[in-house]
């Protein structure tokens, strides 16, 4: 029959309209099952919940209540199917799933029933009386300071619900309701699903039972100052290199050197406002890895943008030197006064003279709106992590031994000289020591590094460093929230 009176349709038009009507009448949404009839004997509070579930996980975990033995919803993953439905809540008791009674079923039997269900899935639940409380700031982000793989974690309640992450990943914390297991998602992944991660408290409390970082090699593996060299920072602006080194130290900060248990650090996005100093760039790495070379290249590439500090020394000025150029020359009593007043980032002593990098020298570079490149021992990084400096830490890592042997064949260890004042070439033991020292640094201080550059090919490393530092000026970064909240600028 024609839909339009007075208009006659061809057979083809009629069959088209017929086909349309058939298609239009069809129900494409998943059909919810009829509700079970046998509800009369149940408690008043019983609730029948029907969800339509696609291939994505339900986004809920269950557990057995220790006291009642009932199967209850342990967790609802934020943004998951169950959460979006708003019908199932943590603490709800599960009586049936798709008509299958949960009573006397083990968790191992229940989980596949829920996981394998697709389309309409019916739950018979007794609502729990858990009052939902928003215990977390609306948007909280953390930087993970350790690697985590739920498949290797025997304590996670549900491995499938776990979130894998690596050191340095930025995670958005969605729920801290459970004291042991937080819910989080990767903030760099679009539409990422929430997963379980160990809470800070839980991770800290079990840190001894978890796989520990590799045992630290003997203390000398971490020495960053060679027994016959001067620290890079103290000799950078010196035209003539030193042949002996001072002992290294730094005591300006009130903080101690204790390494915190590295779990998560709350972070916030940061874009340098026009009135703020550039972030201090700290370069860390084992001796001989190439930090001095990279620093020099950067300063040469753009002297308006990058600069280094002028070290202080108590040794007498030489004829060719100018105060404030190679060194800032100060009398010993003044150096020691500054030292006890924590005015030095690092300092050392050689041949009865003191050398050091002062906080004032760092500030002087930053105040000229230049990026200050400072190489420090890794433990000094902890002291420099302040709202004032907002340091960005670049770890320069040696390539594997075989690459060191080939790339450094002609290189000279600048910080070492023989009796004749000649720089020496790298020996096999220098490479070994560099690699050992790097391993120790990573194990102990790796959580402090914002960027790792493997200095294999020097030209490539330089370009990578340059690109990284440019991004600091142009792109938003994550910095510790404490740096933005604290007003306690030293």
CB of 432 to ligand ATP, least distance (A): 15
Contact pick of 313, 314, 358, 455 for ligand ATP (by CB under 6 A): 455
Tokens standing for residue 334: 């003044």
Confirm or reject binding of residue 186 to ligand ATP (CB under 6 A).
no
Confirm or reject binding of residue 417 to ligand ATP (CB under 6 A).
no
Q: Which helix (H) or strand (E) holds 123?
A: strand 119-126
- Choose the stretch contacting ligand ATP; rule: CB under 6 A; options: 189-197, 287-295, 334-342, 379-387: 287-295
- Choose the stretch contacting ligand ATP; rule: CB under 6 A; options: 61-69, 237-245, 267-275, 285-293: 285-293
Strand residue runs (E) in 187-343: 195-198, 264-270, 281-284, 306-308, 312-313, 328-329
**Between 457 and 476, how does the x/- string for binding to ligand ATP read (CB under 6 A)?**
xx--x---------------
Give the gyration radius of the chain's Cα atoms.
Answer: 32
Confirm or reject binding of residue 299 to ligand ATP (CB under 6 A).
no
Q: How far apart are CA 308 and CA 372, in angstroms?
A: 6
Q: Is 388 helix (H, G, I), strand (E, B) or coil?
A: coil
- In terms of Cα–Cα distance, which of 188, 63, 49 is closest to 121? 49
Contact pick of 193, 383, 408, 439 for ligand ATP (by CB under 6 A): 408
Q: Which residues contact 137 (CB under 8 A, 6 or more apart)?
A: none
Write b or e for each residue in 313-334: b if 16 or more Cβ atoms lie within 10 A of its Cβ, otherwise e.
Answer: bbbeeeeebeeeebbbbbeeee
- Choose the stretch contacting ligand ATP; rule: CB under 6 A; options: 12-20, 163-171, 201-209, 288-296: 288-296
Which of 335, 431 has the CB closer to ligand ATP?
431
Confirm or reject binding of residue 452 to ligand ATP (CB under 6 A).
no
Confirm or reject binding of residue 407 to ligand ATP (CB under 6 A).
yes
Q: How far apart are CA 483 and CA 280, in angstroms?
A: 13
Confirm or reject binding of residue 237 to ligand ATP (CB under 6 A).
no
- Choose the stretch contacting ligand ATP; rule: CB under 6 A; options: 8-16, 73-81, 176-184, 455-463: 455-463
**Between 361 and 400, how does the x/- string for binding to ligand ATP read (CB under 6 A)?**
----------------------------------------
CB of 228 to ligand ATP, least distance (A): 10
DSSP string of 265-310?
A: EEEEEE---TTSPPPPEEEE--TTSSHHHHHHHHHHH-TTTEEEPP
- In terms of Cα–Cα distance, which of 284, 258, 474, 281 is closest to 377? 284
Residues lying near ligand ATP in the complex (CB under 6 A): 229, 232, 285, 287-293, 407-408, 411-415, 455, 457-458, 461
């Amino acid at each position: 029959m024609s839909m339009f009176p007075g208009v006659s349709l061809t057979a083809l038009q009629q069959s088209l309209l017929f086909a349309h009507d058939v298609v239009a009448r069809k129900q494409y949404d998943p059909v919810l099952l009829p509700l079970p009839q046998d509800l009369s004997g149940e408690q008043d509070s019983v609730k029948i919940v029907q969800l339509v579930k696609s291939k994505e996980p339900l986004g809920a975990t269950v557990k057995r209540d220790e006291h009642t033995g009932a199967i209850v919803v342990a967790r609802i993953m934020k943004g998951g199917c169950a959460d979006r439905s708003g019908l199932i809540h943590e603490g709800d008791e599960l009586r049936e799933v798709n008509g299958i009674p949960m009573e006397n079923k083990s968790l191992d039997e229940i989980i596949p029933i829920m996981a394998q269900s697709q389309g309409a899935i019916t739950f018979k639940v007794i609502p729990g009386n858990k009052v939902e409380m928003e215990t977390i700031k609306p948007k909280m982000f953390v930087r993970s300071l350790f690697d985590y793989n739920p498949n290797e974690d025997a304590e996670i309640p549900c491995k499938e619900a776990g979130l894998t992450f690596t050191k340095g990943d930025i995670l958005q914390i969605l729920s801290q309701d459970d004291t042991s297991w937080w819910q989080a998602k990767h903030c760099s992944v679009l539409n990422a699903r929430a997963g379980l991660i160990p809470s800070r408290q839980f991770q800290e409390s079990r840190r001894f039972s978890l796989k520990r970082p590799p045992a630290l090699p003997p203390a000398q593996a971490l020495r960053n100052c060679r027994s016959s060299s001067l620290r890079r920072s103290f000799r950078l602006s010196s035209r003539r290199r030193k042949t002996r080194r001072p002992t290294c130290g730094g005591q300006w900060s009130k903080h101690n050197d204790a390494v915190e248990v590295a779990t998560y650090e709350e972070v916030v996005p940061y874009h340098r406002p026009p009135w703020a100093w550039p972030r201090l760039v700290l370069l860390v790495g084992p001796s001989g890895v190439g930090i001095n070379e990279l620093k020099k290249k950067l300063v040469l590439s753009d002297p308006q943008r990058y600069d280094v500090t002028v070290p202080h020394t108590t040794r007498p000025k030489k004829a060719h030197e100018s105060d404030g150029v190679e060194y800032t020359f100060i009398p010993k009593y003044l150096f020691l006064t500054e030292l006890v007043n924590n005015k030095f980032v690092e300092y050392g002593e050689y041949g009865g003279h003191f050398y050091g990098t002062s906080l004032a020298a760092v500030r002087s570079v930053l105040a000229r709106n230049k990026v200050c490149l400072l190489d420090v021992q890794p433990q000094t990084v902890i002291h420099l992590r302040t709202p004032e400096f907002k340091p960005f830490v670049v770890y320069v890592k040696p390539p594997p031994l075989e690459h060191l042997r080939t790339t450094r064949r002609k290189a000279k260890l600048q910080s070492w000289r023989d009796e004749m004042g000649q720089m020496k070439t790298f020996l096999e033991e220098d490479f070994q020591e560099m690699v050992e020292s790097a391993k120790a640094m990573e194990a102990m201080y790796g959580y402090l590094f914002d960027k790792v550059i493997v200095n294999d090919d020097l030209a490539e490393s330089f370009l990578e460093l340059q690109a990284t530092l440019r991004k600091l000026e142009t792109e938003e970064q994550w910095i510790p929230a404490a740096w933005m909240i604290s007003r306690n600028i030293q």
